[in-house]
Structure 1
Amino acid sequence: MIYLLLSITASTLLFIIFKLLDRFNINTFQAIVVNYFTACLFGIWSYDEPLNVKSILESQWLFGAIGLAFLFIAVFNVMALTAQRNGISVVSVASKMSVIIPVIFGVYAYNEGVGFQKIIGIIFALIAVYLTSVRPKTTSNFAKGLLLPILLFFGSGVIDTSIKYLETTYVSENGIPIFSATIFAFAFIIGSFILIYKYIKKPGQIQLRTIIAGSILGIVNYFSIYYLLKALNHESLESSTIFTVNNVAIVMVSTLLGLMVFRETISKTNWFGIILALISIVLVTLS
């Protein structure tokens, strides 16, 4: 359970950092590229065996890691844009309502339990995610920027599902750090090529504060994935339970932090959503 709590903490901080990047006028894409370099270094540092490039290239999960790298850098950019243009509320809803995708996959592919209590808990979770995040007079803003939330919803769901599949099928417990590092390394390479292409068209430079912000983002990003994988590797909890608790808790915590850090207001509907989220966590966890 400690791994799940640490994953929730790190994932929540990602939303806050994305919002702060825009507030301090830091180039978001540059910071994201730096973030993946830092996250890769942390993955290699956490690996307790000698680094063997040949073994990585021959691993069964290599192509899955490359595919995830493309998704990571694409969805991370969509997440940042959604947080900056639509706000923390909408980015929380869009990314964490995607819990339904890996939950359905877990039930279908791994024959995980799907009793009445879990179904009710999942339904409550989806309702809670919306109620906790909705804000007065934000409907028009959400409709105006509907494309980004939709892309984020499906992208986040596919990432969570792919991570679970690869972790269950191909990745050993001691291989989690190098698996994560490989994804981040390819994401950094992809991002670097995009940056080079942009600089050819329009020359520029990376500021020191961008490198610092990207490094902080990378540390938080690495541990959000690392601890989620560690939680998924725990035999006592099903992936549907982990994803539900993880995603609902992130929305709830990020909403509360939004109140304190960004002075957002909370309505009776929001409070009802928070209570419903707590109920859903209990229902799913004890199912």
Structure 2
Amino acid sequence: MIAFGYITALSLSYFLLAPDFKGLSFTEYFIQSEAKPIFLTLGLLLPIGFIVMSKAVEYGGIVRTDAAQRLALFLQIIAAVILFGETLNNMRVGGVIVAFFALFCLLTKPTKSIENALKAVFALAAVWLIWGVTGILFKKIALMGGAFPTTLFVTFSIAAVLMFTYLLIKRTFWNASSLVGGIILGCLNFGNILFYIYAHQYFKENPTIVFATMDIGVICLGMIVGALVFKEKISKINMLGIVLGITAILLLRV
């Protein structure tokens, strides 16, 4: 489904965004572009991120996985200071500290198996790190202005090739439901990334507004879906983690 999703996202980026290779072929652009470090890293992290996220959901649950992904926000805030020259006031420093406590609470899950507990911690931590770096790289793509469609197209191309290669090596069974699910996933994934970039371009002087507004909504929605639809049990310490996570995001927005 993820593989077909990247084919869908790749097609949408080509037909809707009309990437311009500036007179170069795809191969020449791939070799000569200054954006090469960005699209190579993103093309690798996107498929790996989905695979790691599936493991995080399996061992840690959808609520904790969503929260771990969105708490990667404070990594992006640190990058905003170091890479993009933003000012980190006292409230945002407090938000980073609160985010650490929130992450600890969200990663805590009662289990009879120490092995499963360790798998959950490592998977959730990997989600946190991968999506933190991914968000930073998408911010850099947003700074490219009108040149971002080409970089996005190449990124989806790399991700698609890697995912299909991975599935072929595993000799995965292909079916129609995966194709349909992949088209839906690809549309949602493409729309999410596209509007995320547009939002960063519109609020280019205040990226924390984009980070915080999106993350608050996703954490709240993930909690509701996980509890009501998937019948996940949320402990008191996990609830505390969710509250601290939202608090941290609000502090980082100030």
Q: Give how far 1:112 is off.
A: 0.6
Letter in 2 for 1:253: L
The reply to whether residue 255 of structure 1 matches residue 217 of structure 2 is no
Kindly report which structure 2 residues correspond to 1:153-232, keeping only aligned pairs within 5 A, or say none.
Answer: 153-168=128-143, 171-172=144-145, 174-199=146-171, 205-232=173-200
Question: Matched residues in 2 for 1:75 and 1:90: separation?
Answer: 15
The TM-score with structure 2 as length reference comes to 0.81
Whether 2:43 is the aligned partner of 1:73: answer no
What residue number does 2:11 align with? 41
- Tell me how far apart the structure 2 counterparts of residues 231 and 43 of structure 1 sit (CA, whole Å): 17
1:284 partnered with 2:248 = no
Q: Which runs of 5+ in 1 are unaligned?
A: 1-30
RMSD: 3.0
Distance, in Å, in 2 between the alignment partners of 1:145 and 1:155 is: 15
Q: Tell whether the 8 Å contact from 2:10 to 2:156 is kept in structure 1 after alignment.
A: yes
- Structure 2 alignment gaps of length 5 or more: none
Given residue 7 of structure 2, which amino acid in structure 1 is its aligned partner? F
Percent identity between the aligned chains?
21
134-143 vs 37-46, which deviates more?
134-143
Contact 2:111–2:117 under 8 Å retained in 1: no
The Cα offsets for residues 126-145 of structure 1, whole Å up to 9 and x where unpaired, read as: 54465567655599543343
TM-score (normalised: structure 1): 0.73
Letter of the 2:229 partner, please give it. V
Structure 1 outlier segments of 4+, above 6 Å: 49-53
Aligned to 1:11: none
Amino acid aligned to 1:97: L
Deviation at 1:207, TM superposition (A): 0.5
C-alpha contact 2:19 2:153 (8 A) present in aligned 1: no
Distance 1:227 1:159 in 2: 15
Q: Between Structure 1 and Structure 2, how many residues are aligned?
A: 249
C-alpha spacing 1:106/1:226, structure 2 compared with 1 (3 Å):
same
Partners of 1:180 and 1:225 within 8 A in 2: no
